[in-house]
A and B are shown apart, each in its own frame.
Chain A
Amino acid sequence: MAAVQAYARHLRHVVTENPVTGAAFALFLLLVLTAILGPALVPFDPLQSDASRTLHPPSARHWFGTDQLGRDVFSRVVVATRLDMTIAFASVLLVFVTGTLTGVAAGHFGGWVDRLTGRIADTIMAFPLFVLAMGIVAALGNSIGNIVLATAVVNFPLYVRVARAEANVRRDAGFVEAARVSGNSEARVVLFHILPNTLPIMMVQVSLTLGYAILNAAGLSFIGLGVRPPTPEWGIMVADGANYIQSGEWWVALFPGLALMLAVFCFNLLGDGLRDLIDPRRRT
């Protein structure tokens, strides 16, 4: 119970320290709530087309207007939140687990483990990241699962490098020596004494890369990879709306684009705020 209270106090400190971070946190909660409850709240079925109401501008009935098939843009934007957030969270979770473990192992053991992971990370970094993601999805097949995988792969070097540096400086720290001397196995030392110490920095990394993960996934679906129509997803909705921009029907692309921008903006602000708190030296 005391631990929960301490945690709540810390959270309050994180949220109130900087009003911008607080606002970003509120926005984050709103996004998560929308992702969970959205499909239950929307006024229209996001897939229901209506030939008599195509490309209607925003009105009291359709807040964000209707698209080329007469579907309600507002409902589609809200429902899409879940899919976009799921892709971003899944890919970040995947790279968080694999990248942190690999990086900690490389930093702690050094030697060939370190050289091999370093070489893999360098090879990934030798590509422009979005281009590599395109290549991976094109090669593995056009599916949401592969979008998640590709997004995780391009973020892998970032996680490995940070985790490696964090583990490396603690390799021979006093508390690590103490754990060793008390008879802990090397695996136990790494998993229960070093790994937990890298987590605060890795959490910052998570919130900084969530924004990029959403952008990456939406970019891939914008060029026609991954999510397929008619599934509501922000990137693909902007791609749909792009065909009507020149004829002046701006609302089809604008609202999903704004939702996308807001989500990325929220994650970036949150990440910056967390970083400033946990690691003030890296503040820019």
Chain B
Amino acid sequence: MLAMIGRRLAAALPSIAGVVVVTFLLTRLLPGDPAAYFAGPAATPQAIEEIRQRLGLDQSVPAQFLTYLGDLARGEFGLSLTTGLPVMQELVTRLPASLELTLAGLLFAVAVAVPLGILAAVRAGSWIDHATRIVATAGVSLPTFFTGLLLVHVFYSVLQVAPAPMGRLDIFSSTPPPVTGLYVLDALLAGDGETALAALAQLALPALTLGIFALAPLARMTRAAMLAALGSEFVRAARASGLSRGRIVWVYAFRNAMLPVLTTLGMVFSFLLGANVLVEKVFAWPGIGSYAIEALIVSDYAPVQGFVLTMALLYVLLNLAIDILYGIVDPRVKVES
């Protein structure tokens, strides 16, 4: 098991190297003078020259790349112009908010999409099947920011059941003592049910928005994979042996169908992490996405670079986790390697 994880980790190294090189190149591509860019619009030529030296921009590109690697190794992502705080510190404090949102969205999507996909496959051609198809295509056609606004309009403005879309907690609740950084979980750990509910209420709409977007590919893939598994020889053999319907669907077909679904999860995470940025803007969610947007507006590049790098590394790690999970679900992978 450990050896397998080690091998997967080694296989992820080229991706990480690629990500680091691309984020470095993206700074090189900045139009005009990066020093002037980093210095901001009001800087004097003297200040720009100073920044040029401090950033090492007077050195050759390979030397700059080495410096960049060294900075990354020490967790230095530079300073944000607007807040004056180190980018790294800001990203670390904001990351749990983004993670909480992404995980909640994923949880909702899986909880709805997988049963829906199974039902659609078991009753192929029925109204449930057609409904799943329509929901799936509609879900992936909805721009996330638009879904978010619609939900705010319906549940906050009209029905008035949801709290104002203003971040992770309303002003009446106090932040739970940080353990995991996920407010709902932290509040529960502290035994503070009231705060947990308040945090959950804030989380519900943005998580729903994200989930609706991720639901479509998951439901379609579950349906297709279940159909393939149910049509296979081993399921026919199981049926012929007189096994119960539940056992065939859940033990024989479902476990096999999970493999392509797990593979789809990689793509779903790519969607989720990207859509996260948009949802964070709609709901004023204080995650790393809204941090990057705020920085983008004022052309503050260091946070954007740190954000892109963090997101990419997170994505590589998530794919790694999926790979490992794949090995657990499918014993053949372990035998082959």
- Which residues of A come within 8 Å of B, CB atoms? 119, 122-123, 125-132, 134-136, 138-141, 211, 215, 218-219, 222-225, 235, 238-239, 241-242, 245-248, 250, 253-254, 257, 260-261, 264-265, 268-269, 272, 284
Contact = CB atoms under 8 A, between A and B. Distances in A.
Given A126-B315, A264-B143, A119 B149 contact: no
For the complex of A and B, 7 pairs with smallest distance between CB atoms:
A130-B274, A123-B18, A257-B146, A128-B273, A284-B224, A265-B141, A135-B308
Contact of B137 (A218, A222, A254, A265): A265
B152 A127 contact: no
A128 B274 contact: yes
Interface residues of B, number: 58
Given A123-B19, A131-B273, A139-B30, A250 B153 contact: yes
Contacts of B297: 224
Nearest to B313: A126
Given A123-B22, A261-B142, A265-B137, A242 B149 contact: yes
A268 B140 contact: yes
Contacts of A131: 273-274, 277, 307-308, 311-312
Contact of B152 (A140, A245, A257): A245
Nearest to A146: B31
B137 A269 contact: yes
Q: Which of A138, A218, A225, A235 has the most CB of B within 10 A?
A: A138
10 contacts: A128-B272, A139-B27, A140-B29, A140-B31, A239-B145, A245-B153, A248-B157, A253-B146, A257-B150, A272-B137
Contacts of B308: 127, 131-132, 134-135
Given A126-B316, A127-B315, A129-B274, A261 B296 contact: no
B212 to A, nearest CB: 12
A246 B18 CA distance: 43
A129 B270 contact: yes
The dominant DSSP class at the B interface is helix
The dominant DSSP class at the A interface is helix
A127 to B, nearest CB: 5
Contacts of A242: 145, 149, 282
Contact of B312 (A127, A215, A225, A257): A127
A138 B140 contact: no
B14 A238 contact: no
B179 interface: no
Contacts of B19: 123, 126-127
Interface in B1-49: 14-16, 18-19, 21-23, 26-27, 29-31
